[in-house]
Amino acid sequence: MNSFTYTRASGVEAAVREKAADEGAKFIAGGTNLLDLMKENVERPTRLLDLNHLPLKAIEAAPDGGLRLGALATNADTAWDEQVQQRYPLLSQAILAGASPQLRNMATNGGNLFQRTRCYYFYDLATPCNKREPGSGCSAIGGYNRIHGILGTSESCIATHPSDMCVGLAALNATVQVTGPNGERTVKFEDFHRLPEDKPELDNTLAPDEIVTAIDLPNEDFSKNFSYLKLRDRQSYAFALVSVAAALQLEGNTIKEARLALGGVAHKPWRDPKAEALLKGQPATEETFRKAAAAVVENAQGYGHNTFKIELAKRAIVRALKQAAEGTQHASDIFTNSNP
């Protein structure tokens, strides 16, 4: 690991100023991703700006009647927050599907959005990787790519975004509150992360000196019919091969509103408005769910070892939508006896 200096940020604006003035600086929150990357020499900051003492830990009412999650609230505090469990149980379930209790106690909501891909080659300095070293090539295309993307990939990169929390946030239409040198702005969740195109080194659309201060959940009710289904090689402590966040509003057996987001398949949490439109106004039946699933993978591309993900994603979408429609994932079923 390279040597670096450490500074505690005294305020949001001060942190933004200090970061803008020092190209080698990086913000640190829980450190659960950044420190691993530093130990592997993938990230080499010359200075760490610690955000942990900023007053951004609250989980409180948002201006529109929704819920505002502080960027420095931990993943654990967010998942077990009473309001999150009652009003946004899909998000609780997505967070609890990730990492381990110890990691969730350290990991923050802001840091979760910025976590980097788990592509093996990204971590392996001996191999070419366009994300780590732009222009060097992509070892996963033509290499071992079992965990890689099938949607929105490019010739430069086929990595996936590894977050579970972000898949839940995408389905719930969250927005991200950001402060930068030019003041505050709000970013729609779908515009926060990006596809690799010819610049896979960029995971998101933020400038390096912008700070995420909060994530807002809109005042909408998807608390009855939802499911977060995570399929992985091990039942715990593993990243998703495919995950699906499904949320429905039903009127009798008719779908009034539908949300569908996928993880483990693309460089960003994957939303497909076309598939959601196919669900809306239709009966909540397996036939409807199959049509939506087929639409999601219509343009999917496999790269050999990961081609199985296309069929897996289709089946996972149908299963998650069925679970959501049946209401089997109700908060009281999930959270009883599972608090560590």
Ligand X SMILES: Cc1cc2nc3c(=O)[nH]c(=O)nc-3n(C[C@H](O)[C@H](O)[C@H](O)COP(=O)(O)OP(=O)(O)OC[C@H]3O[C@@H](n4cnc5c(N)ncnc54)[C@H](O)[C@@H]3O)c2cc1C
Interacting residue with ligand X among 9, 138, 157, 165 (CB under 6 A):
165
Which residues inside 191-220 make contact with ligand SF4, applying CB under 6 A? 200
Considering just the CA atoms, what is the radius of gyration of the chain in Å? 20
Interacting residue with ligand X among 12, 62, 103, 202 (CB under 6 A):
103
Distance CA 276, CA 244 (A): 13
Distance CA 135, CA 201 (A): 10
Sketch the per residue contact string, 104 through 133, with ligand SF4: x for CB under 6 A, - otherwise.
-------------x-x-xx------xxx--
DSSP letters, 6-54, are EEE--SHHHHHHHHHT-TTEEEESS-TTHHHHHHTTS---SEEEE-TTS
76 binds ligand X, rule: CB under 6 A: no
* Token digits of residue 288: 């409807």
Q: Are 282 and 288 in contact (CB under 8 A)?
A: yes
Interacting residue with ligand SF4 among 51, 76, 138, 279 (CB under 6 A):
138
Task: Pick one of ligand SF4, ligand X, none as the site partner of residue 245 (Cβ within 5 to 8 A by kind).
Answer: none
12 binds ligand X, rule: CB under 6 A: no
Q: How many angstroms from the chain centroid is the CA of residue 90?
A: 13
115 binds ligand X, rule: CB under 6 A: yes
Q: Are 179 and 13 in contact (CB under 8 A)?
A: yes
108 binds ligand X, rule: CB under 6 A: yes
Interacting residue with ligand X among 25, 34, 84, 242 (CB under 6 A):
34
Q: Which residues bind ligand X (CB under 6 A)?
A: 26-34, 36, 51, 71, 75, 98-99, 103, 106-108, 110-112, 114-115, 162-165, 211-212, 239
